[in-house]
Structure 1
Amino acid sequence: MASPEKIYIDQEVKSSPLALKIIEKLPAIPVEILLPGEDISQISAPSDSLTLYLKHYRGKFLRPCPGTSKYRCCSYRIIHIGENCPLNCSYCILQAYFQDRVLKVWANQDDLWTELDQAFSRDKEKLFRVGTGEFTDSLALDHLTQYSSSLINFLKSYPNVCLELKSKVINLSWMQSVSCPSQVLPAWSVNSPDIIALEEKGASSLEERLTAARACARNGFRVCLHFDPIIHYPNWESGYKKCVEMILDYLKPENIAYVSLGSFRFMPWLKKIIMNNHPQSTYIYNEFITGLDGKTRLLMPLRLKQFKFIANSLKHGGIFRQLYFCMESDLVWKEVLGYTPKDLGGLGNHLKRLTFNSDQ
């Protein structure tokens, strides 16, 4: 992973453990302290310059997953540790919000711990599925921040919480901090090898991801896999067939906690951004409609064909009860899997049972 060309630090967190740790690891990188009221967005920097910003964050750290009432959501909670990603995936929704190469990391971790303690201590019987891979990749900056290890150490006092680390890169250093493997779910996005090679610049290969997943399984962890986004492109069947075959070569069904399936979907304004940033990407010219949530989605017959193909391939390999859809309707669930989230007692409850191996 490339190192940043410059580090900006809010004055309030310049002496924080996280800031001191990163400065020690990157002694040759210039550092600029931002005074209260200074805005990094006003600082001129080349658009291709990778910058690290250690920020005193004042917003909410624990958030609900940004789903919609129009489709079935998984009731996942986000631990918000930063924004933006050093990878360069052509389809990434973050492009619509972050038009720069500034990697933001929240350095006021004491405030994070306080908020998490208040949420998780309120009812020790309430189970939480949480993760850090929504506004950034969970592991892409871990070689600098060790944020995952810090979270794992903090969460040891909260057996009602399970942390998912979702990534497209390989960094297993966090494993050294784990005392209870059932409290951590290492997770990787998976895709057709064709899509990974063409559309996920800077990310690890599928083989590398699955090798890491197998290493986790051999160390007592269950892993999660996310087919998201599933992309429609010429010869997609052979690409996703290869992906499933590789999964079955590296992992046993009992190694897997759950597998999500999500078709490529995007806010309408993202199309132009992809066209400008990634002119080689042709999947954005597929047959799309506007969904109930306002997002652009592949036509349902095309989605269903892809979903059925991948789901049936996984089922033949013994992976079935772990499957779920990300942001799809009951109609899709019924057509592909033969049941709806309601039949499972609600998707959020179902995934908590898979996560904690419980009936709660």
Structure 2
Amino acid sequence: MNSYLDKFNDTIQNTVFYKLPAHEQVFIRDKSIEFGFTFSQIRQIIDIARDLEMWGEKTIIDIFPSHTQKKVLFARLIKAYEELKNRPNSYKDFKLKNIPTEQKFSFKTEEKDGLGLGLCPVASEKTRCCNLLTLDAVQSCGFDCSYCSIQSFYNQNTITFDSSFATKLKNLNLDKNRTYHIGTGQSSDSLLWGNKEGILDALFEFADTNPNVILEFKTKSDNISYFLQNDVPKNILCTWSLNTPTIIKNEEHLTASLDKRIKSARALADKGVKVGFHFHPIVEYENYLSEYKEIYNRLIKEFKSNEVALVSFGTLTFIKPVIKQLREREFRSKITQMPFVDASGKSSYPHATKVEMFKNAYDSFAAWHRDVFFYLCMEEHEMWKETFGYQYSTNNDFERAMLGAYAKKLGMEFFI
């Protein structure tokens, strides 16, 4: 027994075992000794216990099967766990835990190497990608969305500004005979920080002096005061990531409400700024299709299609470091309570679920199909045909179609 206990203690190193309640730790240890679970099985049981706690579901003790044969017992445990993952989530009785009620972070300004301009970090030939260029105007985000991958790349509590950002932008030499699409919302929220450290001053000047650049600000905030107080270059797009009140309340912590996001978009559209909307991620849960459809219908009612440049759809995709990070947090979230399948090396929903969510979304915007550019973000090529009825042969074809549509909507010259 001592030798197995030593093995067990070695196995639980670098896991979330010690983040589990004490009585669950004792239960897992005792059952592992009783049945002689393997290294892999112990780690799976620990992850299951942590997931159940994070989801606010029954505990590992509650779902642990009664059986004398290890193989049968473990198979039944996995089956019970998968059943919880495969059914649509319900937030009806979900209770949040350890969720921040205010933004707490520190700011750091330092000179960084390079400008932080490069291809979208999730670009892949395995999925249809628009070849977006991303600009790291700020690193890390003050919001706390449970599904966000930023938390696995940056220190979530420290917001970093580049002291030489404006100078680097001025010295950036771009091909004047090419149309560029650059987004600033990949490493942080584009508008949350306003003009802190002069970032919006620098970006507006950059847009003014580079009329062949389509500069996109993507946000979940309502901080648009700088845009209302200044002339906005015509080659700037402001886009909002939208979600249902259910998801905003339970998974998009500290962000602006749905009403505030839409009202902010309306205010900028009234000023003549072209806007766009990202439904990414669309999350499956009980009655999710009808709740999302309410937002689609609201947008069609409150905006004219000539004010809107784009609408995009996407869903949850996870890489292992993000899932690991979520399990290490002391909070509750149902965001990983979903049936994971492989999606070009990541984990996401099954194909049929994606078709359902994307087709429902696209069909709901039928009134805008002729005048607004629609696309899927980070989805496999075939998904386009099933959602939109057409697909692009290559990423370059997709990029050209997108740039052409945006340039036309913005009144820009388009360079192929």
Q: TM-score range by the shorter chain?
A: 0.7 to 0.9
How far does residue 205 in structure 1 lie from its aligned partner after superposition? Answer: 1.0
2:350 is equivalent to residue 295 of structure 1: no
Q: Give a deviation string over 1:181-225, Cα, whole Å, max 9, x none.
A: x21101110111211121111111111111111111111121111
SS in 2 for 1:244: helix
Structure possessing the higher radius of gyration over alpha carbons: 2
Q: Kindly indicate whether the alpha-carbon contact (under 8 Å) linking 1:83 and 1:104 is maintained by their aligned counterparts in 2.
A: yes
Displacement after TM superposition at 1:49 (Å): 5.2
Q: Within the alignment, does 1:125 sit opposite 2:181 as a pair?
A: no
CA distance in 1, matches of 2:135, 2:181: 10
TM-score by length of 2: 0.69
> More deviation in 303-312 or 235-244?
235-244
Q: Structure 2 vs 1, CA of residues 344 and 276 (structure 1 numbering), >3 Å: closer, same or farther?
A: closer
Q: 1:177 aligns with which of 208, 227, 230?
A: 230
2:392 alignment partner in structure 1: 341
Residue 200 (1) aligns with residue 256 (2): no
- How much does 1:250 deviate? 2.1
- How do 1:174-253 and structure 2 match up within 5 A? 174-175=226-227, 176-178=229-231, 180=233, 182-253=234-305
Q: For 1:253-264, what aligned pairs fall within 5 Å after superposition?
A: 253-264=305-316
> Which amino acid letter does the alignment assign opposite residue 140 of structure 2?
N
Whether 1:57 aligns to 2:57 is no
Query: Which residue of structure 2 lines up, in the alignment, with residue 43 of structure 1?
Result: none
Name the counterpart of 1:75.
131
Whether the aligned pair in 1 keeps the contact of 2:240 and 2:277 (CA below 8 Å) is: yes
Q: Deviations over 1:253-292 (max 9, x none)?
A: 1111011111110102312322343642113121111222
Mapped partners of 2:371, 2:283: distance in 1: 21
Pick the aligned partner of 2:363 from 312, 334, 348.
312
Q: CA deviation at 1:173?
A: 2.9
Map 1:269-284 → 2, pairs under 5 A: 269-277=321-329, 279-284=331-336
Equivalents in 2 of 1:159, 1:320: separation in Å?
23
Q: Using a 3 Å threshold, how does the CA distance of structure 1 residues 157 and 98 change in structure 2: closer, same or farther? A: closer
- Deviation track 1:216-258 (CA, whole Å, cap 9, x = no partner) reads 1111121111111111122211221122122123211111101
| SS of aligned partner of 1:227 | strand
Flag the 1:249–1:145 CA change in 2: closer, same or farther, 3 A.
farther
Which structure has greater helix proportion?
2
TM-score by length of 1: 0.80
Structure with more relative contact order (C-alpha pairs < 8 Å, separation 6 or more): 2
The structure with more strand, counted as a fraction of residues: 1
Aligned-residue identity in percent? 28
Q: 1:157 aligns with which of 186, 190, 209?
A: 209
Q: Which amino acid letter does the alignment assign opposite residue 255 of structure 1? A: E
Please list every run of 5 or more consecutive structure 2 residues that lacks an aligned counterpart in the other structure. Answer: 1-102
Q: 1:190 and 1:319, CA in 2 relative to 1: closer, same or farther beyond 3 A?
A: farther
Counterpart contact for 1:152–1:177, Cα < 8 Å: no
Following superposition, the deviation at residue 82 of structure 1 comes to 2.0
Is the 1:65–1:78 contact (alpha carbons within 8 Å) kept by the matching residues of 2?
A: yes
Deviation at 1:177, TM superposition (A): 3.5
Q: Which amino acid aligns with 2:309?
A: A
Q: How far apart in 2 are the matches of 1:127 and 1:205?
A: 34
Other-structure match for 1:322: 373
Contact 1:138 1:148 in 2 (8 A): no
1:23-70 Cα shifts (integer Å, max 9, x gaps): xxxxxxxxxxxxxxxxxxxxxxxxx95110101111343211121111
Structure 2 counterpart of 1:53, one-letter code: K
CA contact (8 A) 1:344 1:350 kept: no
